[in-house]
Structures are given as structure tokens and as C-alpha cells.
Amino acid sequence: VSIVESIAAGTPVVTTSVPFTSVYIKRENLGIVADHWNEKALEKISRENDMYVKNCLDYREKVSNTHCAGQFLALRPCNGSH
């Protein structure tokens, strides 16, 4: 499952700091970003699961195709000319 699919499904993300998405995962509290996992990190996501799920469900519209297309179109309004 991709990170975007995980967010869309309301499933908290567990990832490393390598993907560029780790920035917004941390900022929006969509899961845990860690390079070295241990039982405390996994315990944290289990203990705070309700918060992470809520944040993912609240954020998922921002990763939808419709939202991304709207952002793209907002960059340059289509007026029929080239």
C-alpha cells in the first residue's frame, strides 16, 4: 500500500524520513516517521491510533486526484487560448 493510499483509507503511516512525504506526515500527525524503529515507536502508534486515524481521514481530501487537479488548474487558469 502506498503512503497516499494509506492516508486515504484512514490508516496511520509508518515510514522512514527518506520519502519526501515524511515532511507532511510529521507536520499533519498522519503517523510516525523514524529511521530506526523500536517497540516504543510501534507502541506509540498503537496507543495514539485514534488520533492518527482521525488526522488521516481529515487530510485525505488533500491527496485526492480531484484536489490535486484543482491545485494544478489554479496555477494557470484555462481560458481557451494557448
> Does 72 have pLDDT greater than 90?
no
pLDDT at 80: 59
Contact predicate 51/33, CB 8 Å:
no
Give Cα 63 distance to the centre of its chain. 7
pLDDT at 42: 87
Q: Which pLDDT tens digit goes with each residue over 11-66?
A: 999 999 987 889 999 999 999 998 988 898 889 989 999 999 999 999 998 888 78
Confidence bin at 79 (pLDDT 50/70/90): low
CA neighbor of 13 nearest in space, from 27, 28, 32, 26: 32
Angle, helices 39-47 vs 49-59, to 10°: value is: 70
The whole-model pTM stands at 0.76
Q: How far apart are the C-alpha atoms of 69 and 14, rounded to whole Å?
A: 27
Q: How far apart are the C-alpha atoms of 30 and 80, rounded to whole Å?
A: 39
